[in-house]
Structure 1
Amino acid sequence: MNTNTDAIEQKQLFGHPKGLFYLFFAELWERFSFYGMRALLTLYMVNVIFEALAERDYAAAAVYSSYGSLVYASTVVGGKISDTILGMRRSILLGGILMALGHFVLAIEHNTAFYLALALIVVGNGFFKPNISTFVGSLYKDGDPRKDSGFVIFYMGINI
């Protein structure tokens, strides 16, 4: 696939490739998922998952820190699989689907479902995160002066 010819043929929206805005909203919701999970995860574990344990604060902190570190560590493996097997588009789609499944599985009140949900979110993020920024860059031809402003728009989705 030649991304340079794809960039020429793309439909435009506000002077940028239309795909930028899809990626903007995908990244916005991925970050909402991550930071929302960080805000609620410890409270949920202390009050629901580990309520019977005397040392529930320590258990919750261990799971929370493991989750947080694995979300970022999984991007190494996800990026390698993307580069060698799946490609950017499939990896982003697979990552988004796995993260969505993980959030749906969180609705099941069972310890095994809880850990399965966290695993799905971690693996999904591993496929999603290392590829989406690269995909933004591939929307533009080499030397396109709009590329910098495209990344600014994209990173506004992260900051929102």
Structure 2
Amino acid sequence: MNKYYINDVPFSLSNKKAISVMDEHGVEKGYITKSKLSNLEKGSVFSYTCTENQQSFILGIKKNGLKRFVLAEYELLFEQDSYYLSDNIGKNLLYFSVDGKWNDQDILFEENWSGDIELKVNKVHMATIKINDGIFKTVFEFSESLEESNIIFAATFLMYFMVKIYNEETAIIEELFF
């Protein structure tokens, strides 16, 4: 497994700051910033830019009105292409579970029993997001077969912020009802 890190930061990442994505040797591979797009919810849009070739990927939650609290839908933008994911109805009430189909590949980001987020592509485990691994860093472990230039690689870093949004909203809902 190849490991990458980001410093675990407060949720309120400002529009002017960037979070570096570092490999296990301390080399910056990319950076994450907040973004804005008119069709995505304000405050839920993040971009990952690859240091090597400056390619940018943007992921955010689509504006869906009240439906959003039952079923969040996500849009990933890369160049001229858009890719879509959505919450798994039912599962999303118990834990983070998002899936979609990109270029004939089934994509699943799902929380496991340890509270980590696993990425599966066509049911094959490709990555794990270990949120705050006790060292104030979030660790991303990728299968060696997943290349850094792959859109799924970039989406995994961005999905971390969707998980943070999900956890924040879940905590608010639990507080209201329990």
TM-score by length of 1: 0.28
Which structure is richer in relative contact order (CA contacts within 8 A, separation 6 or more)?
Answer: 1
Larger Rg: 1
Higher strand residue share: 2
TM-score by length of 2: 0.26
Higher helix residue share: 1
